Amino acid sequence: MNPQHLNILILFIVMLIIIVGVFVYVYRTSLPRNTEGSGQSGLSNPNQKRFLFFVILAAVLVILLTATLPKTPYYYFANEEPAKVVFVVARQFSFAMSYQSGKPGTPPPNEAIELPAGKTVEFRVTSNDVNHGFAIYDTQNQLIVQTQAMPGYVNRLRWKFEQPGHYSIRCLEFCGAAHAFMESSFLVK
């Protein structure tokens, strides 16, 4: 698991434990042996606490938003000149990749792709038939970045590969029976 995936999982597990903990705790306070004789019942000042709860939650959300919104994939390496451009045409059930863009009406050109390590490259991804996905898996088989392959549109994805090696491409949008077998790869040197 790469660090981003791990962070996501840890964040979720921590939240899971907190939520389950709160529910179990609240449940236990409601059992007769815990309510009898304690002299107090219910939450004191519930609306004040509700307001506090609301403010804290809103603050957390706003912080998360400001931290994450600038990191959208749409601007990855936007200020750099790509060293290579790869044209990708997805179709049931394979990817055609080339340094040349194809001509309409002819089969898309397909060639083995080699990309320079440490330099920005750009993928221009489209589809010839249905919607497909274009997900790049690193040498450890972890998903590092993706975009969709949609008929009639070209999605531009920029990336910089630091590690040399074989990267795989998988289709992540269900496109029919052989969807799970739709893959390709390229080399980073």
Residue selected from 97, 121, 122, 133 as contacting another protein according to rule CB under 8 A: 133
Among Cu ion, another protein, none, what does residue 139 contact (CB within 5–8 Å per kind)?
A: none
Among another protein, Cu ion, none, what does residue 99 contact (CB within 5–8 Å per kind)?
A: none
Min separation Cβ 109 and another protein, Å: 22
Min separation Cβ 176 and Cu ion, Å: 7
Nearer to Cu ion, 32 or 152 (CB): 152
126 contacts: CB under 8 Å, gap ≥ 6: 88, 89, 90, 149, 150, 151, 152, 153, 154, 155
Nearer to another protein, 6 or 83 (CB): 6
SS (H, E, C) 61-129: HHHHHHHHHHHCHHHCCCCCCCCEEEEEEEECCEEEEECCCCCCCCCCCCCCCEECCCCEEEEEEEECC
CA 158 to chain CA mean position, Å: 15
DSSP letter at 40 equals -
Nearer to another protein, 50 or 111 (CB): 50
Binding part of the chain for another protein, among 16-24, 79-87, 101-109, 112-120 by CB under 8 A, reads 16-24
Does position 106 interact with another protein (CB under 8 A)? The reply is no
Q: Please, which residues bridge with residue 132 across strands?
A: 149
* Total residues at interface with another protein (CB under 8 A): 80
Does position 92 interact with another protein (CB under 8 A)? The reply is yes
Neighbours of 75 (CB within 10 A): 10
Among another protein, Cu ion, none, what does residue 187 contact (CB within 5–8 Å per kind)?
A: none
Task: Give the CA distances from residue 75 to residues 33, 78, 86, 152, 156, in Å, rounded to whole numbers and listed in that order.
Answer: 58, 5, 18, 22, 10
Name the site residues for Cu ion (rule: CB under 5 A). Answer: 132, 171, 175, 179, 182
Scan residues 47-66 and list those touching another protein (CB under 8 A): 49-50, 53-54, 57-58, 61, 64-65
Describe the strand order of the beta sheet including 183-188 as a list of residue ranges: 114-115, 183-188, 165-170, 132-137, 143-149
Residue selected from 90, 95, 120, 155 as contacting another protein according to rule CB under 8 A: 155
Does position 5 interact with another protein (CB under 8 A)? The reply is yes
